[in-house]
Amino acid sequence: MITLPCLECPNDQAEFVTGAVIYPHRPELAEKKAWRCSSCGAYVGCHPGTVEPLGRPAGPETRNARQYVHRILDPLWRDAPAFYDKGAKAYGIRRAARTRVYAWLADRMGLTAEECHTGMFTIEQCREAYRLLKQATYADIRQWAKAREEKAA
């Protein structure tokens, strides 16, 4: 057991489980790792190859909302190389763009960079993030970042 606050109940104790417990009907997911709330059963997966939780345990509605946020957030940074010259390394651009997109979202939501992670979001935060991201383009985010850099210089 570790201390990991649950989004669904006041419990803060989570137990380490495998995909065999979370997805008993999906044998191909048996090796996945997760942390499950010992009280209500809400869960969160782990970073690949680790036992580090991806966020806070959540129930099905919140996990679904987090997935919707990723459906709009991820293409913003994944498609970023199209904004740069063809000689640039796509991996480095995507990595920097991901940081930039999350920084923009944190700024808009009034969160710190550490707080702005979909795995930490409540359902209300997911709804706010989705609304903000739905209206954004990478060009907008890039312009915001450049203005912020100029202001800091």
pLDDT digit string, tens, across residues 65-114: 999 999 999 999 988 877 776 666 877 888 889 999 999 999 999 999 99
CB 38 within 8 A of CB 1: yes
Residue 81 is encoded by which pair of tokens?
């190389």
Regarding pTM above 0.75, the answer is: yes
Length of the chain (residues): 153
Query: 3-class DSSP state for residue 86?
Result: coil
User: What is the C-alpha to C-alpha distance for residues 122 and 70, in angstroms, rounded to an integer?
Assistant: 14
Condensed to tens digits (0 to 9), the pLDDT of residues 17-67 reads 999 999 999 999 999 999 999 899 999 999 999 999 999 999 999 999 999
Q: Which pLDDT tens digit goes with each residue over 114-123?
A: 999 999 999 9
- The predicted structure's pLDDT at residue 79: 86
